[in-house]
């Protein structure tokens, strides 16, 4: 493998670097579902090809309502090479869903010029059933927000 002037393998240039921001109510989450979905390219991670080298360069909570970490965490992730920020599925499936989700997306895109994807792992079946019964995601806006994390029933059950 050929080395560049900084003695890092050239393969580093081809990495797709991302950051993940999770809801603070899940601050003790180890990220198992997110990392499994990234490895399997499921949920919102299906936008990356299986042959793409995707690296998580930052993982943090929003900081709690109203999301104070969202003001500076994306900057650190960007310094680490992130081009995309994923707002974790927990911000969508928790009850109530994050009321600041759209604000976070607009802020990060505007301030940091980064692409923002709503979602990480597929929505677990138990959450889909609950939110469907409650009518939480009926609006066209919510339908657009959950689209990247919808999956077939078998996959949703695997993420319960």
Distances (CA, A) of 41 to 31, 91, 121: 15, 19, 9
88 is written with which tokens?
């974790």
Q: How many domains does the chain have?
A: 1
Backbone φ and ψ for 86, nearest 5 degrees, come out as: -100, 125
Residue 116 in any domain: the answer is: yes
Backbone φ and ψ for 74, nearest 5 degrees, come out as: -60, -30
Q: Answer yes or no: pTM beyond 0.85.
A: yes
Residue 58 in any domain: the answer is: yes
Rounded to an integer, what distance in angstroms lies between the CA atom of residue 112 and that of residue 79?
A: 11
Query: Where residue 66 sits, what CATH number does that domain have?
Result: 3.40.50
Residue 12 predicted with pLDDT over 70: no
**Domain range for 117:** 15-158
Task: List pLDDT tens digits, range 68-112.
Answer: 999 999 999 999 999 999 999 999 999 999 999 999 999 999 999
Dihedral of alpha carbons 19, 23, 24, 29, sign: negative
Residue 126 in any domain: the answer is: yes
29 is written with which tokens?
């989450």
Task: List pLDDT tens digits, range 115-151.
Answer: 999 999 999 999 999 999 999 999 999 999 999 999 9
């Amino acid at each position: 493998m050929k080395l560049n002037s900084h003695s890092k393998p050239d393969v580093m240039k081809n990495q797709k670097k991302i950051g993940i921001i999770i809801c603070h109510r899940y601050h003790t989450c180890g990220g198992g579902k997110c990392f499994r979905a990234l490895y399997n390219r499921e949920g919102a991670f299906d936008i990356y090809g299986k042959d793409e080298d995707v690296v998580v360069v930052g993982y943090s909570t929003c900081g709690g309502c109203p999301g104070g970490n969202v003001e500076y965490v994306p900057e650190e992730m960007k310094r680490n090479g992130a081009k995309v920020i994923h707002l974790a599925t927990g911000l969508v499936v928790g009850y109530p869903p994050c009321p600041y989700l759209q604000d976070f997306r607009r802020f990060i895109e505007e301030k940091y010029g980064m692409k923002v994807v709503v979602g990480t792992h597929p929505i677990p079946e138990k959450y889909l059933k609950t939110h469907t019964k409650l009518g939480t995601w009926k609006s066209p806006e919510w339908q657009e927000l959950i689209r990247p994390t919808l999956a077939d029933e078998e996959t949703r059950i695997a993420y319960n």
